[in-house]
Amino acid sequence: MGVAERRAREKELRRETILDAAKDVFSRKGYQGATMEEIAALAEVSPATLYLYFSNKSELYASLNIKMLAFLCRRLEQVAGQKGLEPPEKVRRLAHAMHDVYTFDPLILTNVLHMQASQELTELSPELKEQINSMAAQGLRLMAGIFQQGIEQGHFKPHHPVALADLVWAVFSGLVLWEESKRGFAPDKDYLQTTLELAIETMARGISN
């Protein structure tokens, strides 16, 4: 059992190594631009080894994105689930949460947003596509829940909460991708932090005036 256990742990470890390498390469080159060879080299395995862990390129890509969406959702759940907080405060924490994710690993969001913003999804198998879409939807639902509460309690002017969540997500995508696009120009993390927080809050209030 000891052997089997260690094997399993080692296997899981290597899987993570590969996913890490994939995250890096996919975020730098995009889905089409990334090559299995480069991912393999970064993970320090042979290309053939990748296929022991993922049945093909698109499944690797999908697994990666699912993992990252899961991380994002978990963080959003923490915020949404906090009892006894006024919605405006929750909105502020929402901004913090997304910024946290970005600070923890900018590539996570870069990948998720790139995926949302582009066509790679069409190449995936329907099941994986479905899984990814439903996780993304859950993220939006969590955000929408916060606004819903705020509207019900009179903090925000009546407006469809899903539309608000959409808008926040869009703003957020814009900010992060914009940061990304300026890579090399020493992006200021505080700048993102501040504008993000402000943008989300004013948006949540202003949109329905």
CB of 72 to a copy of itself, least distance (A): 15
93 sits near DNA (criterion: CB under 7 A): no
Please work out the total of residues on this chain that contact a copy of itself, with binding judged by CB under 8 A: 36
Residue 43 amino acid letter:
A
Residue 22 CA to residue 8 CA, distance in Å, equals 21
Q: Residue 163's binding partner, choosing from DNA, a copy of itself, none, with beta-carbon cut-off 5 to 8 A by kind?
A: a copy of itself
Q: Indicate the length of the chain as a whole number.
A: 209
Q: Residue 118's binding partner, choosing from a copy of itself, DNA, none, with beta-carbon cut-off 5 to 8 A by kind?
A: a copy of itself
- Could you give phi then psi for residue 77, rounded to 5 degrees? -60, -40
- Could you give phi then psi for residue 160, rounded to 5 degrees? -65, 120
Q: Who's near 200: CB < 8 A, 6+ residues apart? A: 91, 94, 95, 168, 171, 172
Summarize as ranges the residues that interact with a copy of itself (CB under 8 A): 28-33, 113-114, 116-120, 163, 166-167, 169-175, 177-178, 180-181, 191, 195, 198-199, 201-203, 206-207
> Site residues (CB under 7 A) for DNA?
3, 7-8, 10-11, 14, 34-37, 45-52, 55-58
